[in-house]
């Protein structure tokens, strides 16, 4: 049995997620999701990095907002990075200037966009995750949002020493960084195993604590 997973392909680093996912054992196909019909065919959805204001506008323009929200409420596992996390967040702290996207409000976090600074302040930081053992994971933060608050049902998987940078609430995961830019499949795989999209392989990521 092999799984079909999707990458929300409105704008952003879609190819990087796709190239990583095709390397995950057990993935049958990776579908670029642009329409409500595509959404019905996937067993998990990856929301890439990109510009959250652009993505928010395109969700409305192409009537994807309601179908996406419905699928997520039905329990579609979702893995959201950076702009993807902003798209799923419950609350966005208003930016001092410019427009803010309208989030879906499905992940109980409050975020502030670009809170680590502009592109010159973007950074890489090796992190440890409970589910990944001793080996570090290189987290790539690009104009990253900061998670300011997490709801009671949200589990923090990793922090930058101060703020959460990876969280999950049930089958929805949100990261402020870009695992797809590090060429490391372990977080994608751990997510797919812990949400039951892929069977857990003993001794690897899937042996971690179960999703809340």
Partner 1 sequence: MTELATPRVGTERLKRGFARMQQGGVIMDVTTAEQASIAEAAGAVAVMALERVPADIRAAGGVARMADPLKVREIMDRVSIPVMAKCRIGHTAEARILESMGVDMIDESEVLTPADPFHHVDKKLFQVPFVCGARDLGEALRRIAEGAAMIRTKGEAGTGNVVEAVRHLRQIQSQIDSLANMTPARLSEFARETRVPLELVEEVRTLKRLPVVNFAAGGIATPADAALCRLLGADGVFVGSGIFKAQNPAKVASAIVEASLHYTDAALLARVSSGLGEPMRGIEISTIPPGELLQVRE
One character per residue 173-212, x = contact with partner 1 (rule: CB under 8 A): -----x--xx------------------------------
Task: For residue 82, indicate whether it is catalytic.
Answer: yes
Catalytic residue among 17, 180, 188, 193: 180
Residue in the structure block whose two tokens are 């419905």: 70
Q: Is 180 among the residues known to form the active site?
A: yes
What string marks each residue from 27 to 56 as x (binds partner 1 by CB under 8 A) or -? -------x--------------xxx-xx--
**Interacting residue with partner 1 among 1, 37, 119, 210 (CB under 8 A):** 119
Binding mask 120-159 for partner 1 (x = CB under 8 A): xxxxxxxxx-------x---xxxx----------------
Task: Look up residue 105 and give its two tokens.
Answer: 């409000």
End-to-end CA, the chain: 25
Q: Is 74 a catalytic residue?
A: no
**195-202 contact pairs (CB < 8 A, 24+):** 195/44, 195/77, 195/171, 196/77, 197/3, 197/5, 197/43, 197/44, 197/77, 198/3, 198/24, 198/25, 198/26, 198/27, 199/26
Tell me if 29 sits within 8 A of 22, measured CB to CB: no
Give the residues lining the site for partner 1 (CB under 8 A).
Answer: 9-16, 34, 49-51, 53-54, 57-58, 61-62, 82-83, 95, 97-100, 113-114, 117-128, 136, 140-143, 160-161, 178, 181-182
Known catalytic residues are: 82, 178, 180
């Amino acid at each position: 049995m092999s799984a079909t997973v999707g990458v929300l392909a409105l704008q952003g680093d879609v190819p990087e997620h796709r190239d990583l996912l095709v390397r995950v054992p057990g993935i049958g196909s990776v579908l670029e999701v642009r329409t409500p019909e595509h959404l019905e065919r996937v067993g998990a959805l990856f929301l890439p990095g990109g510009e959250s204001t652009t993505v928010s506008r395109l969700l409305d323009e192409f009537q994807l907002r309601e179908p996406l929200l419905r699928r997520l409420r039905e329990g579609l596992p979702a893995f959201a990075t950076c702009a993807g996390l902003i798209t799923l967040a419950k609350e966005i702290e208003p930016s001092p200037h410019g427009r803010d996207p309208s989030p879906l409000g499905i992940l109980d976090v409050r975020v502030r966009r670009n809170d680590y600074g502009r592109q010159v302040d973007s950074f890489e930081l090796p992190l440890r995750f409970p589910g990944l053992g001793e080996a570090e994971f290189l987290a790539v933060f690009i104009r990253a949002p900061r998670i300011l608050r997490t709801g009671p049902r949200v589990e923090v998987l990793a922090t930058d020493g101060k703020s959460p940078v990876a969280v999950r609430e049930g089958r929805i995961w949100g990261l402020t960084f870009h695992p797809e830019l590090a060429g490391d499949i372990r977080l994608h795989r751990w997510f797919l195993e812990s949400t039951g999209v892929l069977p857990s392989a003993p001794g690897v990521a899937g042996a971690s604590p179960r999703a809340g």
